[in-house]
Amino acid sequence: MSYFKGKKVIVTGASSGIGEATAKEFLLHGAKVILVSRNEKKMIHSFNSFDSKSFSIYPFDLNNVENIDSFVKMLIDKEGPIDILFNNAGISQFGYFEDSDLLVLNKIMDLDFFSVVQFTKSILPHMISKKSGQIVTNTSVAGLIGSRNRSFYSSAKFALHGFFDSVRSEIIQHNVHVTLIAPGRVATDVGKNALTASGQPYGKDDRGHNKGLTSRQAARRILTAIKRKKREAVIAKWNDIAWLAVYIRKLAPRLYFFLARRIVA
């Protein structure tokens, strides 16, 4: 019997990319999945081959941070006890800091950091009260290492690592676990949808994402990390530069910063 059979899971950003693939993998393992995304039509289309009783669709824009608390309470009231939250929704960025409008930073922080903090804050009392739960968050390798053109994105993702490393120590006594997922290159549209210095979508897939894991391969590895309750998992091909960069940053920082000036991530 699958570890996930019968578990109730919330997946944000479920209409595409890693979120969609991971939600499908949860369903294949017998979980009941609560799908959250702005794009209701895309979710309906993407999951029409699954038993409609095995998932629920909730269109919601996580940029509306002030409405997340009431939204989460509504989900719990309607769906019952939640076992796993996968904070996946987010947006990337590609542009030099000196050229970038700070409004772009605000937009990225709202979705990639503050919405995650608020969703976690809203669901945590529920998990603490039932003495079990797991909060999983997609933080990206950009939350472990910085690189050119990614200052705003890395700011949000580094913040998530600091936040959850602290929260993990506080809530483990309640049998609530934290798992951070740090994908490297995965073949999704995250690079194409990244915001430029002016806040417009980048619109090109020219940074090597298509050479990475498929979204389903990434999803399978994510489920393994969740099952094992890993504190942190880098999700990437063995030859992805993400692996090498993480270790070089720790062991040979001078070499890392030399290379970081030349790598386009």
CA distance 187 to 17: 8
- Edge-to-edge strand list for the sheet holding 133-138: 55-59, 32-37, 8-12, 84-87, 133-138, 176-183, 232-235
Query: Per residue in 149-183, pLDDT tens?
Result: 889 999 999 999 999 999 999 999 999 999 999 99
Q: What is the pLDDT of residue 265?
A: 61
Query: Per residue in 120-133, pLDDT tens?
Result: 999 999 999 999 99
Sorting pLDDT into bands at 50, 70 and 90, what band is 250?
confident
The alpha carbon of 3 is separated from its chain's Cα centroid by a whole number of angstroms, namely 21
Q: How far is CA 212 from CA 132, 144, 185, 239, in A?
A: 34, 18, 5, 9
Highest mean pLDDT among 9-13, 89-93, 248-252: 9-13
Enumerate the active-site residues: 153
- Ordered alpha helix ranges (H), the chain: 17-28, 40-46, 68-79, 102-109, 115-130, 151-171, 215-227, 241-251, 253-260
- Is the separation of the CB atoms in 79 and 8 below 8 Å? yes
Amino acid identity for residue 263 in this structure: I
Enumerate residues 6+ apart whose C-beta is below 8 A from 23: 9, 11, 14, 33, 35, 47, 55
Query: Per residue in 189-246, pLDDT tens?
Result: 787 888 888 888 887 765 556 777 999 999 999 999 999 999 999 998 877 777 777 7
- Is the separation of the CB atoms in 132 and 117 below 8 Å? no
CA distance 161 to 159: 5
pLDDT at 260 over 60: yes
Percent of the chain past pLDDT 90, that is, above it, reads 72
Summary mean pLDDT of the chain: 92
What totals of helices (H) and strands (E) does the chain contain, helices first? 9, 7
The pair phi, psi for residue 22, each rounded to 5°, is -70, -40
Does 3.50.50.60 match the CATH number of domain 8-260? no
Least confident interval from 75-84, 184-193, 244-253: 244-253
